[in-house]
Amino acid sequence: MGRLDKYARQSKRKEPSKVLPIRLPQSIYNRFRQRCEDLGLSMSEAGYLLIKEEVEDALYTVYTNEVAVTTEPLQTPIQKEARPTTEVITRKPSLPSTRWTSTPYEVENELPCPLCNQWYSKANFSRHAKHHNSTTREILESYQEIINQMIQRRKSN
């Protein structure tokens, strides 16, 4: 029994439709046309039914796979699995972050700009650095001596 046998002369749905032009090799077209005539279906009906079954089957498979993953087995296994009663979990030691931060240069939530000899909000310093065609990191790491002096003056006040 072929896929189309169970659909022989079923009623059509009453909703707007779209046309799907497809190209087929002549030999497949002829065999498909003959199969549709044998079943009393138009080629359009048969194509619709095949596509509908494919789409609905895909939805069914997705749904049943989701249900299978999210539900417990119905029957408990007769034999217990051979597992140790305790498991040793080895964790990798956490390494300090290698991400660069401006925290060492911060005083009262502000960062020094050695090029302007001014202090700017930490949140806005990146935008300020763009005025110098640079990044926060480049500015703060390139002018260490001037920055250290600015920090010392700020902390002593």
The per-residue pLDDT for 113 is 94
Domain ranges of the chain: 5-70, 104-156
What is the pTM for the complete model shown? 0.39
**Gap between the Cα atoms of 106 and 116, Å rounded:** 16
Positions of the chain with pLDDT lower than 70, given as ranges: 1, 6-13, 58-86, 94-97
The per-residue pLDDT for 19 is 87
Q: Which of 67, 143, 81 is nearest to 112 (CA)?
A: 143
The per-residue pLDDT for 4 is 72
